[in-house]
């Protein structure tokens, strides 16, 4: 009968696979960076009323199914990205990217993640490094330092004050809870009384 295709796996192969990335920006800035990275890759998208981003469907490059039955019954292999920006405090956001696929075999799903296919998170970080985040810390009585890549609060404390143990006071002043509660290029305020002589 003509209804047999409804029970085939091919038509039900709608799968989503997620990944996330934290950035030292409020959601509005993280949204701009994400959209700029998508535009840079030529990926068309629509911003939804809730500010989530959905890219337009793109055809997968796995070729078309060889079975004549699948050609009749199933949609062509394709994928798109569904992106949400979630605030994580006043100066951090999490970018959550789900890749939604249709008719792509499970063993190939991983290659369609945004970080694998377009290096999306790497591109966002590169855009971010060209415009370090605005400071959310006091502008007087101390100095704002921009964290270097792979630098945590202990390393910053050593660089700015000469003593890595000063990280705890720096963390307290910046509303941070641990030496690693920071991201590259984040601005961290260090009070004048901790600065070693000769530090700008």
Digit-coded pLDDT (tens) for 22-36: 988 888 889 999 999
Residues 153 and 120 in one domain: no
Give pLDDT, residue 91. Answer: 75
Report pLDDT digits (tens) over 56-111.
999 998 654 444 444 555 678 999 999 999 998 767 889 999 999 998 888 898 99
Number of domains in the chain: 2
For the chain, what is the largest distance between any 2 Cα atoms, rounded to a whole number of angstroms?
A: 86
Tokens (6 digits) for 182? 């920071």
Residues 8 and 92 in one domain: yes
Report pLDDT digits (tens) over 135-171.
555 556 888 888 888 899 999 999 999 999 999 999 8
Gap between the Cα atoms of 121 and 200, Å rounded: 33
Please check whether residue 92 lies inside any domain of the structure: yes
Q: 163 is in which domain, residue-wise?
A: 142-194
Report pLDDT digits (tens) over 112-125.
999 999 899 999 98
- Taking Cα atoms as reference points, which of 18, 26, 19, 20 lies closest to residue 128? 26
pTM: 0.59
Residues 51 and 120 in one domain: yes
What size, in residues, is the chain? 200
DSSP state letter for 1: -
Gap between the Cα atoms of 52 and 58, Å rounded: 18
Residues 158 and 70 in one domain: no
Q: Of 130, 159, 185, which one is at a domain's C-terminal end? A: 130
Q: Of 130, 155, 173, which one is at a domain's C-terminal end? A: 130
Contacts of 167 (CB under 8 A, 6+ apart): 152, 153, 154, 156, 157, 179
């Amino acid at each position: 009968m003509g209804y047999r295709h409804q029970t085939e796996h091919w038509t039900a192969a709608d799968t989503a696979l997620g990944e996330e990335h934290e950035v030292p920006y409020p959601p509005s800035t993280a949204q701009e960076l994400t959209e700029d990275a998508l535009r840079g890759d030529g990926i068309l998208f629509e911003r939804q009323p809730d500010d989530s981003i959905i890219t337009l469907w793109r055809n997968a490059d796995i070729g078309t199914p060889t079975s004549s039955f699948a050609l009749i019954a199933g949609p062509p292999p394709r994928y798109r990205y569904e992106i949400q920006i979630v605030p994580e405090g006043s100066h951090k956001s999490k970018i959550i990217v789900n890749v939604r696929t249709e008719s792509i075999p499970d063993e190939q799903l991983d290659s369609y993640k945004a970080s694998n296919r377009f290096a999306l998170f790497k591109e966002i970080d590169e855009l971010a490094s060209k415009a370090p985040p605005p400071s959310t810390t006091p502008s007087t009585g101390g100095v704002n330092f921009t964290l270097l890549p792979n630098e945590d609060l202990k390393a910053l404390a050593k660089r700015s004050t000469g003593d890595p143990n000063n990280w705890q006071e720096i963390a307290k002043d910046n509303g941070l809870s641990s030496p690693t509660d920071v991201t590259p290029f984040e601005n961290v305020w260090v009070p004048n009384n901790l600065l070693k002589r000769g530090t700008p």
